Amino acid sequence: MAWTNEKPWHRLGADIGANLSPHEMLVKAKLDYKRPYTSSANHETFRFIKSFVEAGNAQLQTVGSLDKGRIIWVLARLNETFTLKGVDPVAGCLLFASRNEKRDLVQMLVTTVREVCGNTLQVDCKARSTFRNPFRRQFKSTLPFLSPAATQLDQDMIQKAKENIGLGREAIAAFASDAERLADQKVDDPTAHRYMFDVFQPGTAGESPVIGEKEIEELAEKKTRMAIEAIKKAPGQDLEAARMTAWGLLNAVTYTVDHHLGNNQDSRLRLAWFGGNADIKKRAFQLALELL
């Protein structure tokens, strides 16, 4: 298996700065060539996300699209970063997404990005996960057929942005505390192997007291084998915080999911962020906590 420290969204997104206009974000995401109606809807979406992020004092970082433009997404930094054992930095981010079939809605997820390899992990948060885009113009049955365009966020939405992005920061702080404990928890090979079976093949290992090479050879599916290999070979796994620790096991899972599971890079990222593989990563986090 090839090991890379590229971000999982490499070639699917483009880095941006806070000063980019919504149209420039559209160009960066390579969505400016779409049909006029679709391009307009995407412009309204980027306009809302940019305004929302700025109201919450976060920082736009990356913009991109998935599934031939059906899903557009934006990563924003929360300026909430922690470093484990002084060597393993992890950034707190917001992941915004909107889909063609419901372009008036914008999803917001709180996620971490491990900087050494770009692994991502959604973090449980009390913030709202969906917002209606006030910049999205609605079709009407009478002239002028489109509702008036909003020019800026109203005070209610600005307050929602501040409150919900604030809750995102609190969630990252809580996760950082858990991550520190995981980085302190050493594990041995049998524990690591059973953990990977529990994550990817629950119940398969049964009551076997030890999972060694024989059990791996006979029972492990390809994804489980990849994750076991990633424990020691994935980028960043030699760092003190990750070397045979519960934190290292969790990141072997997130690395495998984000970088290797899926038919192609696009489907891999969709599954890792919005599909069933996001649930695998959540299960991996809960199982890692059970090792404490």
Q: What is residue 6's predicted lDDT score, i.e. its pLDDT?
A: 72
pLDDT band at 177; cut points 50, 70, 90:
very high
Q: What is the pLDDT of residues 183-204, one digit of tens each?
A: 999 999 999 999 999 999 998 8
Q: What is residue 138's predicted lDDT score, i.e. its pLDDT?
A: 59
CB 31 within 8 A of CB 18: no
- Asked whether residue 126 carries a pLDDT value surpassing 80, the answer given is yes
Q: Quick count: other Cβ atoms within 10 Å of Cβ 237?
A: 23
CB 190 within 8 A of CB 155: no
Q: What is the pLDDT of residues 33-63, one digit of tens each?
A: 656 556 778 888 988 999 999 999 999 999 9
What is the reported pTM? 0.90
Q: Which residues make beta-bridge pairs with 106?
A: 131
Burial-class residue 29 by CB neighbours within 10 Å (0-12, 13-18, 19+).
buried
Q: Which two tokens stand for residue 159?
A: 């307050």
Q: What is the pLDDT of residues 77-90, one digit of tens each?
A: 998 999 999 999 99
CB 108 within 8 A of CB 131: yes
Q: What is residue 140's predicted lDDT score, i.e. its pLDDT?
A: 46
CB 230 within 8 A of CB 255: yes
Q: How far apart are CA 48 and CA 54, in angstroms?
A: 10
Query: What is the Rg, in whole angstroms, of the alpha carbon atoms belonging to the chain?
Result: 21
Residues counted in the chain? 292
Amino acid at 37: Y
